[in-house]
Every structure is written in structure tokens, then in C-alpha cells.
Amino acid sequence: MDQTVNRGIRLNRVKGRARAWMSKPANIILLVFLITLTVLTLYPLISLLLETVTIHTGREARAAKLAAGEFSFYHFQRLFLTKENDYSWIQFYQPFLNTLIISLASSLIAILFGGVVAFLVTRTNLKYKKFVSAVFTFPYIMPSWTLALFWEAFFKNVNIGLKTSNGIMAAVFHVYMPEWFVYGAFPIALVLGLHYAPFAYILIGGILRNMDANLEEAATILKTSRPRIIWRITLPIVKPAMLSTFLLVFASSMSAYSVPVFLGSPVRYYVLSTKMKSLMDSYPGQAYIIVAVMILFGVAILLLNQKVTNSRKQFTTVTGKSGQISKINLGKANRPIAILLVVILLLVAVVPLLTFAMESVIIKAGDYSLSNMTLDFWIGTDLEKRLDQGDSTGILLNPKVWNALGYSLGLAVTCALVAGTCGILVGYGVAKRRGSKLASWVNSLSFFPYLMPSLAFGAIYLAMSSKIPWLRGFLLLGLVGSVKYLPFASRSGVNAMLQLSGEIEEAAVITGVPWWKRMLRVIFPIQKSSFLSGYLLPMVSCMRELSLFVLLVPTSNTILTTMLMQYSEKGWAQFGNAINLLIIIVVLLVNFTVNKLTGASIDKGVGG
């Protein structure tokens, strides 16, 4: 009798506890995301690993002399251990080494450039500060290949690379740059370094800006010299941010695809990502192994980064809210430094756009006289009568371009809506249940896609979609984009939610405001600009994304970026440049409209 009563009580307790658990929206959200993200990240990962031990039909099966679909370690043996004709060296070890060199070099360039500018802007009385800080994030907003294409267009000549035509440097100034300067490791590292320098600028600048002035003043009182203060006080404090930047840029450069394709492939300089793409068609098994290697690297970097950012928290608690920061007087050096900086930024951010505009209107490459210019590539018709290659209409009259633009925009908006909303929900769940195991799992899972190189991520979903017949076209691209950009959105979501004291929501709970209304009427309006940044970043990234989608698009005319890629491969330079300009303008337009209307901005979401 007693036992049955006890059992009843125990059952009630369990039921009550379960009901209490389920009555909190944060718990349900976390549970749903735990399951969905596990399926969307772990399942593809497993299917990828299976691909590396499966023989695929076609050339692969013939070369391996095995039946398609058979289980075998042939790919590993072939890719890693084949000495014959230096196969392994050419296909794997050389590109691997190149990847390391480029990632390392670009990280250093990014930290040096971004860090120095961050210091100048936050800690000195530099002139033109407003302009510098406004233009500095440009290179990140623009597609990464922008600079690559600009570099090539500016410096190429008939002696090197594909030996097709002269760029501005050779045609106008008659300076013929050597091959190492125009193609290969040097320009790739430089371009990537400049592209990711805003990371360093935002991360390091954030720390410098919030650093307690007392820390430096205390040293000044103790009669420490300026350089010594910078060396012994300021640098150690920003060191964690520098390490964090290093790892982020390293990971991003490692997975970069478009820059090495434009600046490396013409001289057969390969990195892991470009090698993987070229292997994908004929030897997918080996390509998938390269993907696995890249992911392994990414995970290692994430773990390192987590270690670094954990110790960074200790630093930020040391530095409190800053008072008046004493600025270093640059004195006579001020103007020259400021002008140099402005010139560099113009070269990096503005001149490329002018170059693309220029290149898109000249008829015969290398001839920059007015008589050689035409708007045909933008608005011309019946071009096949006048040109020996290219489309028959200018891009603005070409329905294919408009279709692709529409598709790109639709895709970007979809990904932004899905990723941004999920990011807010993840942020809500993680912040509410902060410290619980469930929250930290979901937090890590939602960051995992960041580690997967875009091209690799695309490759995995390609492998997965081959087994799921309905996962095709827009649905597939939208899904990939949403998952891949979730880390951006969830990061800004988590940050925004952590800033909000729990009491703000509880004050509404007490009066019985339902959950959805609390989100819409209380939480969202307060953190509007942070949340909107969580939408903006996926949108902008998606609009200019190439490597993630390049393997997955049904035809290369589907989205603008793959269309650009196709034109560039065919050598239709003018059409390519015009489309490139179109993409950049759309991206900048979206960014600035959202920024002006809502106050959301890219730098609120990047890194952090």
C-alpha cells in the first residue's frame, strides 16, 4: 500500500519536473537545435568519411581496378603514398605545404596591417580617422576575389601566366612585372591578408578601445616611456586578441578558394582547396580525403581558439570601463602617416572598382585609349556580329544575368532569414541556460560550420544530396547557406542576449506575457541592431559566396558568382568584370541601406 503511494509520488515528481523543464521555451529551443544541428553537421560529416573509403564509378573505379561502390582504403594509399611520377607530392604534399605557407603569411599580414591601423585609430591623434575607419571594413564587405582580380588585371602581361594580354601596368606604364609578383604565393597571401585585415582591426581595436586608461596612466605615473608602455602594457593586453585573429584568419585563408583559383591556377600553383576542386570530377574519393584533412585542421584551430579566448576573458575582467584615454601625439609624422594610409585604402578599396569599370568597357585588352571603349558589354545588342566570343547582349540586357541576380538575391534573403532567426533563437536558449551542458553543446554545434571550409562544406552536402533525391536546387543551396552562416548569426545572437539582463524578460513573465510576445515586443526591440547584424552578415556573405555553392549549383548560370567564374574561365574578361562590378555594387548597396535604416553593421557580427 505504502509502496504504491510512494510510486505515485515519485511519478508525480518526475512528471512535475519534466513539465517544469518543458514549460521553459529556452529548453525546447535548445533541444530542437541539438537534434537539427546534429543531423545537419554530424550526418554530413559521417557521410563524407564514408565517401573516402568508397570506390566511385568512372575513372576512379577503372584506375583502382575495383568495382564501384566497393569498400577500400585505395584513396588513402593513392593520395598519401604514391611515389610514382611524384603523384602524392603533386596532388597532396605540395598543395598542403602551399596552404600552410599562404595561411601563415596572410595571418601575419592581416594582424600587422589591421593591428597597426587599429592602434593608430584608437590610440593616436591620427588625421582622417573617420575616413580610415569607414573604409577599412570595405575589403571584407567586398568579395575576396575582388582584390585578386584587380591584382591580376593591373599587373598581368603577355610574358607570364596565361600570356593572353597586358594589364594596365604593362600597357600604360610599360612595366612588366615578374611572374612571382603577379601569380603564386606572394599575391595570394597579400590579397588574403588585406581581405581579412578588418578581422584584426575589429578584434584588436575593440580591446584597445575598451582598455582601461588607468592601466597605461599607472605606468606613466611610474615614469615609463611611451614605447615601453606600448611594449610592456598595451601589447600584452591585446595579445589574446591578436592570437584570436591569427587563428581566425588562418582558418579562413586555408579554406579560401576563389583567390588561389584566380592568382594560383594560371601558373599551376595549387593549394588544398583548388586541388580538391580539380580532383572532385575524376577522383572524388581523394578529393573527400582532402576535405577531411581541411576539417581536421579547422577543428584543431577551433580548439586552440577556445583556449585562447578563455584566457582572454581573464583580460577583459581586468580592464574595466574606460575613462578618458590619453592619445599619443604623432606630431610631424601625423600627416605623412595619414596620407599613406588613405592612399593604401584607396588602392585596396576604391581603385579596384574603377579598374573593373574600366576593364568592362574596353574592346581590345591592353588598349586604354578612348577609341577602344564601348558600353556594349553592359547594354549592347547583337554582339555576336562584332565580337568573336562572348554573349550576344550586354549583361544588363541579358535575361540570364537578371535571372541569376534574382536567384542570388532570393537565396541571400532566404539564408539570412533562416540563419538570422535561428541565430537569435540559439542566442536566447544559450544565454538563458548558460552554464548547462545542453547550452554548451548547442553553442559548439552552431559554431561548427564555421570550421568547415566552404568548399568542403559544399562537397559534403553534394555527397549527402546524392542520397536524398528531393534535396536539390534552391532547397539545397538555401539549406547549405543557412547552416554555413549560422555561426555568424548565433554569435551575434548569443552576445546580444548575454548583454540583456534576465530581469528584463522576467518583468514581462510576471504579468503573463506569452513567450512569442516577449520575444517580439520586449527582447527584439531592445537588441534590434545586434540582431539585425545577425541577419545582415549572412545576407552579404551569401550574396558574394562562390566556393560554398560552386559544387552545388544546377548550372553555372544559376547564381551571379558562378556565372562570373564561368565567364572568367572562358576568358570573357569584359563580361566578367561587368558582372563582378554588379555583384559588388549590390553587396555594398544592401550593406549600406541596412546600416543606414537600422544601425546594424558588419563589424558588430564579425569575429567577436
233-237 own/partner pairs: CB under 8 Å, 24+ apart: 234/119, 234/123, 234/208, 237/207, 237/211, 237/315, 237/318, 237/319
Q: Which is nearer to another protein, 22 or 134 (CB)?
A: 22
3-state secondary structure of 450: helix
Q: Which is nearer to another protein, 24 or 400 (CB)?
A: 24
Shortest distance in whole angstroms from residue 531 CB to another protein: 13
- Take residue 53 and report the three cell numbers written for it: 573509403
CA atoms within 13 Å, Cβ hemisphere of 216: 25
Shortest distance in whole angstroms from residue 498 CB to another protein: 15
Contacts for 317 with CB less than 8 Å, ≥ 6 apart: none
Distance, in Å, from the CA atom of 427 to the CA atom of 30, rounded to the nearest integer, reads 10
Q: Which is nearer to another protein, 13 or 386 (CB)?
A: 13
Q: Which is nearer to another protein, 23 or 381 (CB)?
A: 23
Shortest distance in whole angstroms from residue 191 CB to another protein: 43
Shortest distance in whole angstroms from residue 514 CB to another protein: 8
- Take residue 535 and report the three cell numbers written for it: 541577419
CA atoms within 13 Å, Cβ hemisphere of 499: 13
Shortest distance in whole angstroms from residue 594 CB to another protein: 19
Q: Which is nearer to another protein, 354 or 504 (CB)?
A: 504
Shortest distance in whole angstroms from residue 521 CB to another protein: 8
Q: Which is nearer to another protein, 13 or 163 (CB)?
A: 13
Shortest distance in whole angstroms from residue 438 CB to another protein: 14
Q: Which is nearer to another protein, 27 or 234 (CB)?
A: 27
Shortest distance in whole angstroms from residue 106 CB to another protein: 42
- Take residue 358 and report the three cell numbers written for it: 574600366
Q: Which is nearer to another protein, 19 or 174 (CB)?
A: 19
3-state secondary structure of 373: strand
Find cell 594509399 and name the residue: 77
* Burial per residue of 26-37, b for 16 or more beta-carbon CB atoms within 10 angstroms, e otherwise: bbebbeebbeeb
3-state secondary structure of 467: coil
Q: Which is nearer to another protein, 388 or 503 (CB)?
A: 503
3-state secondary structure 516-550: HHHHHHHHHHHCHHHHHHHHHHHHHHHHCCCCCCC
Q: Which is nearer to another protein, 12 or 159 (CB)?
A: 12
H helices of 234-373, where? 235-255, 258-263, 272-282, 284-318, 334-345, 351-359
Q: Which of 196, 300, 313, 297 is nearest to 246 (CA)?
A: 196
Burial class (CB in 10 A: 0-12, 13-18, 19+), 424: buried
- Take residue 40 and report the three cell numbers written for it: 545537419
Q: Which is nearer to another protein, 346 or 526 (CB)?
A: 526
Q: Which is nearer to another protein, 3 or 501 (CB)?
A: 501
Shortest distance in whole angstroms from residue 515 CB to another protein: 11
Q: Which of 550, 556, 546, 555 is nearest to 580 (CA)?
A: 546
Contacts for 164 with CB less than 8 Å, ≥ 6 apart: 156, 158, 365, 571
Shortest distance in whole angstroms from residue 8 CB to another protein: 9
- Take residue 450 and report the three cell numbers written for it: 564555421
Distance, in Å, from the CA atom of 45 to the CA atom of 39, rounded to the nearest integer, reads 10
Q: Which is nearer to another protein, 472 or 517 (CB)?
A: 517
599, 590 contact by CB (below 8 A): no
Shortest distance in whole angstroms from residue 306 CB to another protein: 23
Distance, in Å, from the CA atom of 470 to the CA atom of 476, rounded to the nearest integer, reads 9
**Residue 124's beta-bridge partner residues?**
328
Read off the amino acid at residue 577: N
Q: Which of 289, 308, 232 is nearest to 93 (CA)?
A: 289
- Take residue 60 and report the three cell numbers written for it: 576512379
Shortest distance in whole angstroms from residue 82 CB to another protein: 54
Residues near another protein (CB under 8 A) are: 9, 12-13, 15-17, 19-20, 23, 501, 503-504, 506-513, 517, 521-522, 525-526
- Take residue 374 and report the three cell numbers written for it: 564601348
Shortest distance in whole angstroms from residue 493 CB to another protein: 18
Q: Which is nearer to another protein, 89 or 515 (CB)?
A: 515
Rounded to 5 degrees, what angle do the CA atoms 262, 560, 273 make? 35
Distance, in Å, from the CA atom of 532 to the CA atom of 528, rounded to the nearest integer, reads 6
Shortest distance in whole angstroms from residue 499 CB to another protein: 12
Distance, in Å, from the CA atom of 335 to the CA atom of 313, rounded to the nearest integer, reads 37
Q: Which of 152, 178, 154, 157 is nearest to 168 (CA)?
A: 154
Shortest distance in whole angstroms from residue 184 CB to another protein: 54
**Residue 54's beta-bridge partner residues?**
71
Q: Which is nearer to another protein, 530 or 574 (CB)?
A: 530
